[in-house]
Amino acid sequence: MMASAEPPVPGGKNLDNSARSAARLGAVQALYQMDVAGTQLDDIVDEFVHHRFGQEIEGDVYPRADEAHFEDIIRGVVREQRDIDMAINGALAKNWSLTRLDATLRAILRAGVYELRRCKNVPVKVVINEYVDVAHAFFEGDESGVVNAVLDRLGASARKAGGASDVAAGSS
């Protein structure tokens, strides 16, 4: 993960990079839970924000997360899922589709593509590295390479389409 200065946020406080990383991991877990268990969006936001982040559950400590970033990612993925899924399908290797992928890998890619498209203050390389790290947390095989390849293919075009350029120094 790249260390860099965070942009100011409302209230004058700077976001913590580890809180952003925790938000990304939480968003992937929440998207997975929504996909597999059918948990409703507002219920999943409440569960993570009020009952997981910063808590110890069954011996696992959930780190403090940037709750606004977490909520932006999952609400954004739900809102834009059709377009996100089409983009991912177009970036996958020939004869592969999003429906063939593991539910966790789908969640990672969806969150990564949303962040590439909508979080213009985060450099493309940071987004890719962060979601490759998330993939490493769940998988020991080639999945992290799939995440890297898909997000790399979509990264430049996502930023050009929005008219924003990727900056070398930005936030994670």
pLDDT surpassing 70 at residue 25: yes
The number of beta carbons lying within 10 Å of the beta carbon of residue 119 is: 19
Closest among 123, 122, 85 to 105, alpha carbons compared: 85
The verdict on residue 136 lying in a domain is: yes
Q: Do residues 100 and 137 touch, judged by C-beta distance below 8 A?
A: no
Query: Number of helices (H) and strands (E), helices first, in the chain?
Result: 6, 2
DSSP annotation of 141 reads S
The length of the chain is 172
Q: What is the pLDDT of residue 71?
A: 97
In a domain, 167, yes or no: no
Contact 64, 23 (CB under 8 A): no
Does some domain include residue 168? no
The domain total for the chain is 1
pTM: 0.83
Contact criterion met (CB below 8 Å) for 26 and 140: no
Long-range contacts of 56-62 (CB under 8 A, 24+ apart): 62/22, 62/26
Whether 119 is covered by a domain: the verdict is yes
- Whether residue 8 is contained in a domain is answered as no
- What is the per-residue pLDDT for 12? 33
For helices 103-118 and 124-138, angle between their N-to-C axes, nearest 10 degrees = 170
With bands split at pLDDT 50, 70 and 90, how would you rate the model's confidence at 161? low
Is residue 151 within 8 Å of 127, Cβ to Cβ?
Answer: yes
Whether residue 42 contacts residue 20, with contact meaning beta carbons closer than 8 Å, is answered with no
Q: Is residue 11 part of a domain?
A: no
For the ranges 1-5, 105-109, 139-143, the lowest mean pLDDT is seen at 1-5
Q: Which amino acid is at 78?
A: V
172 in any annotated domain? no
pLDDT digits (tens, 9 = 90+) for 100-115: 999 999 999 999 999 9
User: pLDDT digit string (tens) for 62-105?
Assistant: 788 999 999 999 999 999 999 999 999 999 988 888 889 999 99
- Whether 99 and 137 have beta carbons less than 8 Å apart is answered as no
Q: Which pLDDT does position 157 carry in this prediction?
A: 82
Look at 158 and 106; give whichever has higher pLDDT. Answer: 106
What pLDDT does residue 62 have?
79
Stronger pLDDT, 166 or 152, i.e. the higher one: 152
10-14, 84-88, 118-122: least confidently modelled range: 10-14
The predicted structure's pLDDT at residue 15: 52
Q: What residue numbers bound the domain in which 144 lies?
A: 17-162
For residue 135, the domain's CATH number is: 1.10.940.10
